[in-house]
Amino acid sequence: MTGAMCRAVGVAYFVASWAPWAAALDRDGAIEAAKRQVKGKCDSTTPCTFTVTTAEGKWHVRVDFPKPGRHAIFIIDQGGKVVGRLEGK
């Protein structure tokens, strides 16, 4: 194998191993996923508050609604899919 081929194989391996991390959801993406779930309940006249934490490789987004005491917690995986939901009063 030539030096150029070795470098090409090395670069291909690096890119292939890096790809899943590039697709992983970040904090802002988790908030956007939660916003899609509460569409119509939060807007500029009735704003919601979003608090984000991580646990066990998933995002936990707490949404506090304008009505006191009302909230929901969305558990979102790295692909942006809601895999759990808890609501409180």
pLDDT reported for residue 4: 56
pLDDT reported for residue 84: 98
- Residue 80 tokens read as 């942006």
Domain-located, residue 4: no
pLDDT reported for residue 2: 62
Model pTM? 0.72
Domain-located, residue 12: no
CA atoms within 13 A on the CB side of 13: 6
Q: Please, what are the averages of pLDDT over each run of 10 residues along the chain (89 residues)?
A: 52 42 80 95 90 97 92 97 94
pLDDT reported for residue 11: 42
Total domains in the chain come to: 1
Domain-located, residue 81: yes
Q: What is the domain range of residue 41?
A: 25-88
Domain-located, residue 19: no
Domain-located, residue 82: yes
Domain-located, residue 29: yes
Domain-located, residue 48: yes
